[in-house]
């Protein structure tokens, strides 16, 4: 297999794991917000949860770009 393909597969695995970690962090902060007594703490945890979701969305965009490039590469290198 071509090294570039292996690199892209590795990136897909890395991004997939990173996205899951961002979702886990979101869940953690969101849960913490539900238990927070002080309004300022609740607000902080909700903001942190929102930031984690933003990170996950950014990583998803990168993942989609890599997957799209792999499809283009496959189409360009396949035998017609």
Between vectors from CA 31 to CA 30 and to CA 33, what angle results, nearest 5°?
65
The predicted-structure confidence for 5-28, as pLDDT tens digits, reads as follows: 656 678 899 999 999 999 999 999
The predicted-structure confidence for 38-79, as pLDDT tens digits, reads as follows: 999 999 999 999 999 999 999 999 999 999 998 898 888 887
Query: Is 80 part of any domain?
Result: no
Query: Is 32 part of any domain?
Result: no
- How far apart CA 16 and CA 24 sit, in angstroms, is 12
Number of domains the chain contains: 1
Query: Is 57 part of any domain?
Result: yes
Runs of H (alpha helix) within 1-80: 3-35, 39-77
Whole-Å CA distances, 35 to 28, 46, 75, 78: 11, 11, 51, 55
Domain that holds residue 11: 3-24+37-75
- How far apart CA 52 and CA 23 sit, in angstroms, is 7
Q: Which residue has the tokens 């539900």?
A: 34
């Amino acid at each position: 297999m071509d090294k570039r393909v292996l690199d892209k597969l590795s990136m897909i695995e890395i991004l997939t794991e990173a996205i899951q970690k961002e979702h886990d962090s979101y869940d953690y902060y969101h849960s913490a917000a539900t238990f927070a007594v002080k309004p300022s703490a609740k607000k902080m945890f909700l903001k942190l949860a929102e930031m984690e979701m933003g990170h996950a969305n950014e990583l998803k965009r990168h993942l989609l770009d890599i997957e799209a490039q792999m499809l283009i590469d496959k189409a360009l290198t396949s035998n017609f």
